[in-house]
């Protein structure tokens, strides 16, 4: 585990280090943030000020356009008013016979001088009508309607630009009657010039407006003179106006009919209608929405959001000839402020360069500051590591008897020093034994509780992958031992109970092979401890090799057991003869029985012969177990198929039966592993131990056989059936309560066992 970036958090300087780191990072980043805020504030203020200025200029522009349109409309319609009065005066002052010629002469001149005038005409109360109209060939065409007694004549006379007649024709189908027209009826009721509303001219079928004036003759008859003005020129004028990028203006009357609009839709969409189009018939949703707001809010200047876009709206009166006309102008606000937003975006983009430069400088400053702090921390860490190493080497020098295998205090002291030096949660020293089949804990120290334990044994059958990885001689390093296939079994067996995760296993080599290991769990400061670990491993190698050549009495053998001999015992094939002290009539209850159950799983292996071909593996195992039973004074042992049951405590005076059963199980485990491996088979057996009530008695005919059953026997068999792995010795909670002061255990956990319910089980290691 690399710990070069780990900072010691035990000292009070960590708070200062964190504050310094925050200052190193916070001050430059805060400066960049202030630059960003300042740029944004300036951009927002500039945008707001520019927008306000542009809108103020747009108001002035719209006012100017409004004034210009008003003047243009006034100048557009004022000639018609004057022409109406002039034609009346000229015509009525001539003789009756010359009135037609006078009207025609004046009309021709007016049409040439005033382009917006389309026609001049007069009509009387008898239905007579005369109209002089501009012709497409730059000349004029005159329409005469004469209603003589008993007949009606409609005649068209065409003159060229020089006033010469080019065509004369009659139109008997023409039913035009001036007396029913709006201009005639309106003029009769008005004292001065009367203006019609917009309508479709009868002859041209185009929208226009008429100015008419009445004259009453001496005979009491009424004559009305009129001037037609087309609206196309006014619409062309509105279309020529530049109102922003997409603004437009329209003129409407009080009923919403279009007077003029900058579009040709007005003319094309009318067809044969005899009334003008309305504003909402143009197909323009913006103008339709503005017209709706105008009808509610009236005249004035406003800004509305229409179609998701801010739109400036201006409505003003056009007092032309007393008509209730209105000028409507609409223009998107973006037409005036678009360049402001565009410039703002460009300013922001340019400001990004400044921000990037500031951020780059801040990043360099942060990097340099953090590198300086990191260098200072590394120097501090190395100084502390050197100090810890010096202390560790001093402790090593004080223990000159470290190689003396009969003394455990020097080893315990150095294990504790190594744990402190590496800041490891637990430090342990292990030694391979039994021909590499077992890994025995020589010493283990937990830093939090400063306690030492030893004697825990792990078998190759339980941890095959861990043993294989260890014997490879390579250092084993796992950040999460539970996820590494090499250490997953080791984690489950030893690390999981104390919730440690990371593990470092350093092999101890001697005589060209691995003879042990140093295990560090959750080590946080290995940078200053590796040299000491290497030296410690060499010292341990010498100690272990010396201990192998000069065996000494260890703690596992220090606790001798005082046996109470249960009497004579016999182990023939039937195991029939038993101690005289166990003679019972019928059945007897043994409340303190200690039972061991050994279950063998590989039937084929049990039947294999030894290399000499004389005995099977089962025969050798049974003979070995008989020797172990004799050595540990086990009074009862019986073979049933592939299972063996041994028991003690079958007499009231046998108080150490559970200790002898446990010693026998350890010996049986070692000898059975040797026998399986000698035959070339992987160990295939499990051992279970329990204590409690058992029932026994002689059964059958002479010679009667002694049989044992009951709760203790069933529980021991369950312990063997549910063991953790091949060669494991699993004991019940009751047996653990009586053995834990003499043997080393590791808890397996809480399990639900049939007939027992929830119970704690333990894996037996070795003697303490």
> What pLDDT does 566 receive?
39
The first and second tokens of residue 223, run together, are 């004559």
The DSSP string of 424-471 is: -SEEEEEEEETTTTEEEEEEEEETTTTEEE---EEETTT-HHHHHHHH
CB contact at 8 A, 187 and 226: yes
- Lowest-confidence pick of 13-22, 458-467, 503-512: 13-22
Residue range 314-365, pLDDT digits in tens: 888 876 655 778 888 888 877 777 666 777 777 778 888 888 888 888 888 8
> What pLDDT does 556 receive?
37
> What pLDDT does 650 receive?
85
- Cα→Cα distances 696→651, 699, 713, Å: 11, 9, 11
> What pLDDT does 562 receive?
36
- Lowest-confidence pick of 23-32, 355-364, 499-508, 631-640: 23-32
DSSP state of 163: S
CB contact at 8 A, 582 and 569: no
The first and second tokens of residue 699, run together, are 């059964």
Domain residue limits, the chain: 24-127+177-360, 399-555, 580-767
What integer is the mean pLDDT of 130-136? 84
> What pLDDT does 257 receive?
79
> What pLDDT does 388 receive?
65
> What pLDDT does 443 receive?
85
What integer is the mean pLDDT of 451-461? 75
Residue range 187-202, pLDDT digits in tens: 888 888 888 877 777 6
Does the structure show a pLDDT above 60 at 710? yes
The DSSP string of 87-142 is: HHHHHHTS-GGGHHHHHHHHHHHHHHH-TTEEEEEEEETTS-EEEEEE-TTSSEEE
DSSP state of 486: T
> What pLDDT does 113 receive?
80
Whether 24-127+177-360 and 580-767 share one fold: the answer is no
pTM: 0.41
> What pLDDT does 670 receive?
86
Name which CATH class applies to 580-767: alpha beta
Does the structure show a pLDDT above 90 at 124? no
Does the structure show a pLDDT above 50 at 204? yes
Does the structure show a pLDDT above 90 at 690? yes
The number of angstroms, rounded, from the C-alpha of 162 to the middle of its chain's C-alpha atoms is 87
> What pLDDT does 304 receive?
79
Does the structure show a pLDDT above 50 at 753? yes
- Lowest-confidence pick of 396-400, 653-657, 732-736: 396-400
User: What CATH architecture applies to the domain 399-555?
Assistant: 2-Layer Sandwich (3.30)
Instruction: Tell me the percentage of the chain whose pLDDT exceeds 70.
Output: 82
Does the structure show a pLDDT above 50 at 602? yes
The DSSP string of 535-597 is: HHHHHHHHHHHHHHHS----HHHHS-------------SS-----GGG--SSEEEEEEEEEEE
Q: Which residues of 219-262 form beta strands (DSSP E)? A: 222-230, 248-252, 258-260
Instruction: Tell me the percentage of the chain whose pLDDT exceeds 90.
Output: 6
For the chain, what is the mean pLDDT? Answer: 78
Assign 395 a pLDDT band (cuts: 50, 70, 90).
Answer: low
Highest mean pLDDT: which range of 82-86, 247-251, 734-738: 734-738
Does the structure show a pLDDT above 80 at 604? no
> What pLDDT does 567 receive?
40
Assign 94 a pLDDT band (cuts: 50, 70, 90).
Answer: low
Assign 691 a pLDDT band (cuts: 50, 70, 90).
Answer: very high
CA-atom Rg of the chain in angstroms: 60
Assign 272 a pLDDT band (cuts: 50, 70, 90).
Answer: very low
> What pLDDT does 270 receive?
43
Does the structure show a pLDDT above 70 at 587? no
Helix axes 530-549, 409-422, angle to 10 degrees: 160
Check residues 267 and 688 and name the one with the higher pLDDT: 688
What integer is the mean pLDDT of 755-759? 71
What integer is the mean pLDDT of 637-641? 83
Name the fold adopted by 24-127+177-360: Beta-Lactamase (3.30.450)
The first and second tokens of residue 187, run together, are 């003029």
CA quadruple 730, 733, 738, 740: dihedral positive or negative?
A: positive
The first and second tokens of residue 464, run together, are 């095959």
CB contact at 8 A, 142 and 132: yes
> What pLDDT does 18 receive?
66
């Amino acid at each position: 585990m690399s710990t070069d970036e780990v900072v010691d958090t035990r000292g009070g300087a960590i708070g200062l280090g964190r504050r310094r780191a925050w200052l190193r990072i916070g001050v430059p980043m805060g400066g960049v943030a202030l630059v960003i805020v300042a740029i944004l504030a300036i951009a927002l203020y500039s945008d707001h000020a520019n927008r306000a200025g542009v809108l103020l200029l747009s108001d002035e522009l719209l006012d100017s356009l409004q004034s210009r349109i008003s003047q243009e409309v006034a100048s557009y319609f004022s000639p018609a008013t004057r022409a109406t009065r002039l034609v009346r005066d000229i015509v009525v002052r001539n003789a009756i016979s010359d009135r037609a010629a006078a009207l025609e002469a004046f009309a021709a001149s007016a049409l040439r001088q005033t382009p917006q005038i389309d026609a001049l005409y007069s009509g009387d109360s008898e239905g007579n009508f005369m109209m002089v109209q501009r012709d497409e060939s730059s000349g004029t065409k005159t329409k005469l309607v004469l209603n003589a007694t008993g007949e009606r004549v409609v005649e068209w006379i065409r003159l060229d630009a020089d006033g010469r007649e080019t065509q004369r024709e009659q139109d008997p189908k023409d039913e035009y009657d001036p007396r029913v027209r709006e201009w005639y009826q309106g003029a009769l009721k008005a004292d001065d010039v009367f203006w019609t509303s917009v309508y479709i001219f009868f002859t041209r079928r185009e929208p226009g407006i008429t100015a008419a004036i009445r004259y009453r003759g001496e005979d009491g008859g009424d004559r009305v003179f009129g001037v037609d003005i087309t609206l196309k020129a006014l619409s062309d004028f509105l279309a020529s106006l530049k109102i922003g990028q997409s603004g437009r203006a329209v003129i409407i009357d009080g009923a919403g009919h279009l007077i003029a609009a900058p579009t040709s839709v007005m003319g094309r969409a009318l067809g044969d209608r005899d009334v003008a189009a309305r504003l909402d018939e143009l197909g323009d949703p913006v103008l339709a929405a503005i017209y709706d707001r105008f009808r509610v809010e009236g005249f004035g200047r406003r800004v509305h959001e229409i179609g998701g876009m801010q739109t400036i709206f201006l409505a003003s009166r056009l007092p032309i000839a007393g008509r209730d006309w209105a000028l409507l102008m609409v223009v998107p606000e973006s037409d005036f402020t678009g360049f402001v937003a565009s410039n703002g975006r460009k300013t922001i983009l340019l400001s990004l360069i400044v921000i990037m430069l500031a951020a780059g400088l801040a990043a360099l400053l942060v990097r340099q500051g953090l590198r300086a702090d990191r260098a200072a921390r590394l120097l501090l860490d190395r100084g502390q590591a050197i100090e810890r190493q010096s202390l560790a080497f001093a402790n090593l020098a004080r223990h000159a008897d470290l190689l003396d295998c009969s003394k455990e205090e020097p080893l315990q002291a150095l294990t504790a020093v190594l744990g402190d030096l590496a800041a490891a949660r637990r430090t342990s020293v292990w030694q391979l034994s039994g021909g590499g089949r077992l890994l025995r804990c020589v010493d283990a120290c937990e830093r939090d509780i400063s306690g030492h334990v030893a004697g825990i044994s792990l078998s190759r059958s339980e941890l095959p992958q861990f043993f294989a990885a260890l014997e490879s001689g390579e250092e084993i390093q796992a950040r999460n031992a539970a996820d590494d296939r090499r250490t997953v079994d080791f984690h489950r067996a030893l690390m999981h109970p104390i919730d440690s995760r990371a593990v470092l296993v350093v092999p101890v080599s001697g005589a060209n092979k691995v003879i042990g290991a140093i295990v560090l769990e959750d080590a946080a400061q290995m940078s200053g401890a590796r040299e000491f670990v290497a030296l410690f491993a060499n010292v341990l190698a010498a100690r272990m090799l010396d201990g192998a050549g000069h065996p000494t009495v260890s703690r596992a053998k220090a606790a001798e057991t005082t046996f109470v001999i249960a009497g004579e015992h016999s182990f023939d094939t039937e195991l029939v003869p038993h101690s005289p002290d166990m003679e019972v009539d019928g059945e007897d209850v043994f409340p303190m029985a200690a039972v061991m159950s050994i279950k063998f799983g590989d039937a084929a292996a049990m039947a294999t012969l030894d290399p000499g071909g004389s005995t099977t593996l089962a025969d050798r195992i049974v003979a070995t177990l008989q020797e172990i039973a004799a050595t540990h004074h086990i009074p009862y042992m019986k073979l049933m198929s592939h299972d063996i049951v041994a028991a003690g405590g079958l007499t009231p005076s046998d108080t150490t039966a559970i200790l002898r059963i446990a010693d026998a199980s350890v010996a049986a485990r070692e000898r059975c592993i040797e026998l399986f491996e000698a035959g070339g088979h992987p160990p295939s057996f499990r051992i279970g131990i329990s204590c409690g009530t058992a029932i026994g008695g002689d059964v059958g005919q002479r010679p009667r056989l002694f049989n044992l059953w009951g709760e203790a026997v069933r529980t021991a068999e369950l312990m063997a059936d549910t063991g953790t792995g091949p060669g494991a010795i699993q004991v019940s909670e009751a047996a653990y309560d009586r053995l834990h002061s003499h043997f080393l255990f590791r808890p397996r956990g809480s399990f639900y066992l049939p007939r027992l319910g929830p119970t704690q089980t333990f894996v037996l290691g070795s003697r303490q």
